Amino acid sequence: MQNRSPSKRLEPQSMDYRSVLEEIHAAVLPVVGRGRVADYIPELSRVPPDRFGMAVVTVRGEVYTVGDALTTFSIQSISKLFSLVMALQAEGDAVWDRVGREPSGTPFNSLVQLEHESGKPRNPFINAGALVITDILCTRFAVPENALAEFMQKLSGNQAVHYDRRVARSERTHADRNAAMAHFMKSFGNLRNSVELVLDAYCRHCAIEMNCVDLARAVSFLANHGRIPSSGEMVLGASLSKRLNAVMLTCGTYDAAGDFAFRVGLPAKSGVGGGIVAVMPNECGICVWSPSLDESGNSHAGTLALELLTTLTGRSIF
């Protein structure tokens, strides 16, 4: 494969994303399926490992796709990004009193740091942090998982977005480690609602199903200074959007965030369903999906695809 020189990169308005995506698709096909599908949630273990889809949605409304970009999948931890957005809308910077903004350096479901740091999770994208964010939504909304699904419907423009009850039930049945985190944080006063309520809502919002186009469109407000490109509606202020992109860059891909930033150079959030969303500021939202994961829980082919995207276009935040 021949790399385009960044010195000859195209301007955003003339970027040929269609050919770029086709080149990426051809390059990653040999590694699609490498790794392993998440099997600690039995319902996810049934997903075929040899799938690949990718979508780019520009702030001008252009949509480019390749592969299985219209196939729905379980967004899992990608939902943590949008639950955080709702918590920031509700409480602003007060959110950071209960959850940090630092990379964890440990697996997403680790309990190790909670005791040393008095029940305050390192960041909102590890499971412990996402449980605190879900607790905030449980206080603010009667049915937080439905409120999040409706929020995702608005951002994606797809009114069919909702959670898969079978996946939610499968995840809830195998939530012992998350339950341990929740009880531990509650002992420190960092969980206000019942553990059962928080776990139910958390497992349901992780089980939301979307496709690559839905998610690329849903995240595009973060490429547009906090405004939904199609309507101009403000989701977050420009300052909060900037800070959220920073947390995505440093914490959004589990304990591989440093390597991901080194290789890809874009703010991103991954999920063990095999999806990764990414933001190219002022230009587009991106989503790639391939279910087989690397050791950190990130899509193996998806990470490579995003690295190729920034290489071929010569564009990243650096």
> For residue 16, what is the domain's CATH number?
3.40.710.10
- In the set 20, 59, 66, 77, the catalytic residue is 77
From 156, 167, 202, 279, active-site residue: 202
Catalytic residue among 80, 120, 186, 269: 80
* pLDDT score of 14: 67
User: Cα separation of 260 and 276, whole Å?
Assistant: 11
Question: How far is the C-alpha of 22 from the C-alpha of 310, rounded, in Å?
Answer: 14
Within a domain: residue 1? no
Q: What's the domain count of the chain?
A: 1
Ranges in the chain, pLDDT < 70 = 1-14, 105-110
Residues 6+ apart with CB under 8 A from 107: 254, 255, 296, 297
Residue 91, domain member (yes or no): yes
- Cα distance between residue 286 and residue 66, in whole Å: 12
Q: How far apart are CA 114 and CA 221, in angstroms?
A: 32
- Name residues whose C-beta falls within 8 Å of residue 229's C-beta, 6 or more positions apart in sequence: 58, 59, 60, 61, 220, 221, 223
Locate tokens 């385009």: which residue? 4
8 is catalytic: no
Which of 136, 29, 143 is CA-nearest to residue 93? 136
Residue 88 is assigned to a structural domain of this protein: yes
- For every residue of 38-75, DSSP letters joined together read --SSTTGGGS-TT--EEEEEETTS-EEEEESTTS-EE-
Domain encompassing residue 40? 6-313
Res 108: pLDDT: 61
64 belongs to the catalytic site: no
pLDDT of residue 2: 43
The C-alpha atoms of residue 252 and residue 77 are separated, in whole angstroms, by 9
The per-residue pLDDT for 106 is 66
Q: How many CA atoms lie within 13 A of 97 on its CB side?
A: 9
Asked whether residue 142 is domain-assigned, the answer is yes
Return the pLDDT at 225: 97
- Residue in 257, 154, 135, 245 with CA at minimum distance from that of residue 201: 135
Which strand (E) or helix (H) includes residue 284? strand 284-289
pLDDT of residue 8: 43
Catalytic residue among 272, 277, 279, 288: 272
Distance of CA 110 to the CA centre of its chain: 19
**pLDDT value at position 6?**
42
Residue type present at position 26 = A
245: left (phi > 0), else alpha (psi -120 to 50), else beta?
A: alpha
Cα(18)–Cα(65) distance, rounded to whole angstroms? Answer: 7
* 80: annotated active-site residue: yes
In this structure, is residue 58 part of a structural domain?
yes
pTM reported for the whole predicted model: 0.93
191 Cβ neighbours under 8 A, 6+ residues apart: 131, 132, 135, 182, 185, 198
Catalytic annotation present for 272: yes
* Candidates 37, 220, 254, 290; catalytic one: 254
Q: Does residue 202 have an active-site annotation?
A: yes
